[in-house]
Amino acid sequence: MTQPYQFHKSILREYDIRGIVGETLHEADAAALGRAFGTIVARASGKSAPVIAVGRDGRVSSPALEAALVEGLKSTGAEVVRTGVGPTPQLYFAATTLGTDGGIQVTGSHNPPHHNGFKMMLGKKSFFGAQIQEVGRISAAGDIVEGAGSVRDHDISDAYVARLLEEAVDNDLAIGWDPGNGAAGTVIGRIVAGLKGRHLVINEAVDGTFPAHHPDPTEPENLEQLQHLVAENKLDIGIAFDGDADRIGAIDAKGRIIWGDQLLAILAADLLQDKPGSTIIADVKASQVLFDEIAKLGGKPLMWKTGHSLIKTKMAETGSPLAGEMSGHIFFADRFYGFDDALYAALRLIRAVVKAGVSLTELRDRLPDTVNTPELRFPVVEEEKFAIVDKVKANLAAAGAEVDATDGVRVKNADGWWLLRASNTQAVLVARAEGSDDAALDRLKASLTGALVAAGVTPPKI
């Protein structure tokens, strides 16, 4: 029997395993994950030597964590296929097209440089929720299979790039690209070389210290360098990626940020021309404008829970060809595999602009304007966050409010809507509000604040 191993309680998250290197996450955790995950895959596949793909991002800590992970997997008898440094979607592509029994990407995603973690697949499906908790249970019990596995390297990047470039279209667009020194830098040069038009790339070198800016395109300050590039070179579009390239950010020729729900609206308009009546999924943080636009275009809008694993699962359940989140995760099952790939989404965005025959700026101008808050995050005690949302929900029900409880509470009234949900990954409550004008937004924020106060939470001024 393998020696039991206990993970730090904070790192087994809803969608992945993630921690602070040297504090809550160590090489020993990577090895223990390899042993537990290898066991789970062996039992699920019924194979004594299941095939598991492993990739990593460009963080400073990733090589050591990957090496420990591979040793853990080998000790269970797994055949490990190392795909090397690259975007998380490249690992998903490998696990999907090579017919492996599972896959793990070592990545800290969009988090600070001293963070890292693991995203997993079992077969071709996301590995999340209770499955991640099972990793902890198996490891703590020492309930591990043993074997003598093997390791081989497989550079899948050329096949991945070739698959992405199947979406390339003739165009004369001028586009700026910012991989943010993240893992997209391993393939962006080959992608751009295969595209028509004029292209400028910044921050292409993979550097786990992220010297240019933090690799999170949902934060406006991280797009400033790209905005300058677009303005100075009179570009039509700017495209940015997070640290592992599963989230996209975009700006138009005016330098305006095209938020995740706006991108999804533009992509949905294009897709619905070819697949009328399709179900398009967006998370609860998305604008009402998006859901209204999908319906107006003849699609079926579906609001669903936040979380890339949850969205992918709902897509498979409903047969949806397209889904997205405010955070910039875009999922295409139309002509693709249903996972979140920001590089693929970028090529579909270029195709949508070309097919529309107008600029991205004009496509953005066609969307109705609203006034909204950014994503608001209120720190709370981890053990209390879900209870607070439940209390708010109960108070709203007693007051007769119109509430959607898909994920937390989304309250709709004549002014617009506000949302309150508990984060699945952090000890925070997440909120957002959107109104028809400034006065409406002020009333919505007051309503949100009042609901929090009534539930025993005093939020900062919003």
Q: How far apart are CA 241 and CA 78, in angstroms?
A: 32
DSSP state of 413: E
Tell me whether residue 9 is in a domain: no
C-beta separation of 422 from 389 below 8 A? yes
Q: How far apart are CA 90 and CA 194, in angstroms?
A: 17
Tell me, yes or no, whether 450 and 304 share the same domain. Answer: no
Tell me whether residue 462 is in a domain: no
C-beta separation of 224 from 214 below 8 A? no
Give per-residue pLDDT as tens, 245-276: 999 999 999 999 999 999 999 999 999 999 99
Mean pLDDT of 69-78: 98
Q: How far apart are CA 236 and CA 230, in angstroms?
A: 7
Tell me, yes or no, whether 141 and 164 share the same domain. Answer: no
Which tops the pLDDT comparison, 174 or 308? Answer: 174
Tell me, yes or no, whether 265 and 351 share the same domain. Answer: yes
Query: Which of 365, 396, 430 is the endpoint of a domain?
Result: 365
Tell me, yes or no, whether 72 and 108 share the same domain. Answer: yes
Tell me whether residue 8 is in a domain: no
Assign residue 396 the CATH number of its domain: 3.30.310.50
pLDDT at residue number 312: 93
C-beta separation of 247 from 218 below 8 A? yes
Q: How far apart are CA 21 and CA 368, in angstroms?
A: 44
Give the rounded percent of residues in the chain with a pLDDT score beyond 70.
Answer: 100
What residues form DSSP beta bridges with 240?
178, 249
The helix/strand count (H/E) of the chain reads as 14, 22
Query: Measured between alpha carbons, how far is residue 423 from residues 76, 118, 376, 428 in Å?
Result: 34, 19, 11, 6
Tell me, yes or no, whether 199 and 321 share the same domain. Answer: yes
Name which of 10-14, 174-178, 348-352 the model is least confident about.
10-14
Which tops the pLDDT comparison, 14 or 359? Answer: 359
Tell me, yes or no, whether 21 and 150 share the same domain. Answer: yes
Count the Cβ atoms, other than its own, within 10 Å of residue 397.
12
Tell me, yes or no, whether 269 and 312 share the same domain. Answer: yes
Tell me, yes or no, whether 127 and 252 share the same domain. Answer: no
Give per-residue pLDDT as tens, 209-225: 999 999 999 999 999 99
Tell me whether residue 2 is in a domain: no
Tell me, yes or no, whether 338 and 233 share the same domain. Answer: yes
Tell me, yes or no, whether 353 and 219 share the same domain. Answer: yes
Query: Which of 365, 385, 404 is the endpoint of a domain?
Result: 365
Tell me whether residue 10 is in a domain: no
Tell me whether residue 303 is in a domain: yes
pLDDT at residue number 201: 98
Assign residue 260 the CATH number of its domain: 3.40.120.10
Query: Which of 330, 365, 400 is the endpoint of a domain?
Result: 365
Give the rounded percent of residues in the chain with a pLDDT score beyond 90.
Answer: 91
Tell me, yes or no, whether 342 and 410 share the same domain. Answer: no
pTM of the model: 0.95
Tell me whether residue 405 is in a domain: yes
Tell me, yes or no, whether 94 and 225 share the same domain. Answer: no
Which tops the pLDDT comparison, 370 or 122? Answer: 122
The verdict on whether 320 is a catalytic residue reads no
* Count of structural domains within the chain: 3
pLDDT at residue number 1: 63
Token digits for 85? 């440094």
Tell me whether residue 447 is in a domain: yes
DSSP state of 334: S
Q: Would the pLDDT of 450 be above 90?
A: yes
Give per-residue pLDDT as tens, 27-66: 999 999 999 999 999 999 999 999 999 999 999 999 999 9
Give per-residue pLDDT as tens, 160-206: 999 999 999 999 999 999 999 999 999 999 999 999 999 999 999 99
Write out the residue range of the structural domain in which residue 377 sits: 371-454
How much is the mean pLDDT over the chain? Answer: 96
Q: Which of 45, 61, 75, 109 is catalytic?
A: 109
- Please, what is the angle between helix 342-356 and helix 260-274, to 10°? 60
pLDDT at residue number 94: 98
Q: Would the pLDDT of 416 be above 80?
A: yes
Q: 326 pLDDT band (50/70/90 cuts)?
A: very high
